Amino acid sequence: MKLLNLGCGKHYHKNWINIDFNKTGENVIAYNLLNGIPYKENDIDVIYNSHLFEHFNKHNGINFIKECYRVLKPNGILRIVVPDLEGIVKEYLLQLEKSLLGDKNAQTNYEWIVIEMIDQMIRNKSGGEMINYIMNKNIVNKNYIIDRIGIEANDLLNTNYTANTYYLKKNNNQKLLGLISRFRVKFAKIILGNESHLIDIGKFRTIGENHLWMYDRYSLSKLLQECHFSKVNLTDVFHSMIPNWEQQNLDLIDGKIRQPNSLYIEAIK
Ligand SMILES: C[S@@+](CC[C@H](N)C(=O)[O-])C[C@H]1O[C@@H](n2cnc3c(N)ncnc32)[C@H](O)[C@@H]1O
């Protein structure tokens, strides 16, 4: 079976072909998925991607789904996990209503849910407001944040990350390319003078950290159907059409849900 884990980040699996912008481990191929999926037609049995799809803009997102359809074998399975726009908006409205009634806990949670909803779309710097909030020593709604974004929040809450180190860990090859790129950027900045910060913003917004679109159960189902997928089906971390799903450990860590604020959807070619 050929299994693809696209935009795997640090969550790769030795039985899968793992692809990401960055070579995050031995079993990961560094590749930009905006150039298409590097496999021939009708070649792949399963495509899994978690918290990748929202990093494409609407246009590139449609192309990505078409690419998934192209490379999957007939009856091949696509599983997509994204932050659930509907869930986040409902939570925002709940915390807003309670905050307006003077509920102190809600007022603290409101701070977080606004960050969760907006920050990854609008940030121009790695980590954005999310890291600033999490790194605050006096944080009082730690458990709420863990309930929202999962046990991975523990990593962030318990580690001395700085905003620039969380997302951008690089290997030696990437460091060399980085050095060349930095030289070119320095030169371009001299030419741009007092508008040189625009280069940093532009570069940051193309490294795959921003959310460029968001989806709910209606819009993602509709998109999959429009791209000719059948049996479009909302699911959860525990259930999948992917054979031996319970052994893949992709949406769980030690039996716990990795990213609770997610929407899980599957479809068949
Ligand atoms: C939020 S992380 C999710 C990582 C992992 N799938 C997970 O569930 O924890 C998004 C990942 O998508 C990758 N990514 C974003 N745009 C990409 C692109 N155009 N090509 C390849 N990978 C991309 C990023 O490098 C990052 O590792």
Domains along the sequence of the chain with CATH: 3-83+215-268 (3.40.50.150), 85-158 (no CATH), 172-204 (no CATH)
- 7 alpha carbon – ligand 1 mean position (Å): 4
pLDDT of residue 170: 55
Give 159's pLDDT tier (boundaries 50, 70, 90).
low
Question: Comparing C-alpha atoms, which of 120, 94, 71, 137 is closest to residue 269?
Answer: 71
| Interval between CA 51 and ligand 1 midpoint (Å) | 7
Q: What mean pLDDT value characterizes the chain?
A: 89
pLDDT higher than threshold 70 for residue 164: no
Q: Is the pLDDT reported for residue 52 higher than 90?
A: yes
Summarize pLDDT for 11-34 with one digit per residue, the tens.
Answer: 898 899 999 988 888 889 999 999
Q: Which of 67-76, 110-119, 143-152, 234-243 has the lowest mean pLDDT?
A: 143-152
Angle, CA 69 vertex, CA 65 and CA 70 arms, to 5°:
115
Q: Closest residue (by CA) to atom 4 of ligand 1? A: 9
What is the predicted pLDDT for the residue at 60?
Answer: 97
Distance CA 259, CA 269 (A): 26
In this structure, are strands 256-257 and 252-253 parallel, antiparallel, or unpaired? Answer: antiparallel
Ligand 1 centroid distance, CA of 174 (Å)? 16
Q: How many CB atoms lie under 10 A from the CB of residue 189? A: 15
Alpha carbon of 209 to ligand 1 centroid (Å): 8
Q: Express each pLDDT in 178-194 by its tens digit.
A: 777 778 878 888 888 88
Of residues 253 and 172, more confidently modeled: 253
Pick the atom of ligand 1 nearest to 81's CA.
8
pLDDT at 253: 84
Site to probe by mutation for ligand 1, drawn from 55, 120, 257 as the one with most ligand atoms within 8 Å of Cβ, is 55
User: What is the distance between the alpha carbons of residues 51 and 117, in angstroms, rounded to a whole number?
Assistant: 14
| The pLDDT value given to residue 22 | 86
pLDDT of 78 higher than 60:
yes
Task: Please give the pLDDT value at position 178.
Answer: 72
Q: Distance, CA 8 to ligand 1 centroid (Å)?
A: 6
Q: What is the DSSP letter of 258?
A: S
- For residue 25, the CA-to-ligand 1 centroid distance in Å is 13
Q: Is the pLDDT of residue 168 over 70?
A: no
Residue nearest to atom 6 of ligand 1 (CA): 8
Q: What is the mean pLDDT of residues 110-138?
A: 92
* CA–CA distance, 244 with 250 (Å, rounded to integer): 12
**What's residue 154's pLDDT?**
73
| Residues 35-57, mean pLDDT to the nearest whole number | 97
Q: Which of 6, 21, 47 for a ligand 1 pocket mutation test, highest count of atoms within 8 Å of Cβ?
A: 21
Cβ contact 128:207 at 8 Å: no
Q: Please report the atom of ligand 1 found closest to the CA of residue 8.
A: 6
Give pLDDT tens digits for 196-211: 888 888 888 888 889 9
Write down the pLDDT at residue 162.
45
What is the band of 137 on the pLDDT scale with cuts at 50, 70, 90? confident
Look at 90 and 173; give whichever has higher pLDDT.
Answer: 90
Kindly state the percentage of the chain with pLDDT values over 70: 91
Tell me the C-alpha distance between 71 and 39, whole Å.
6
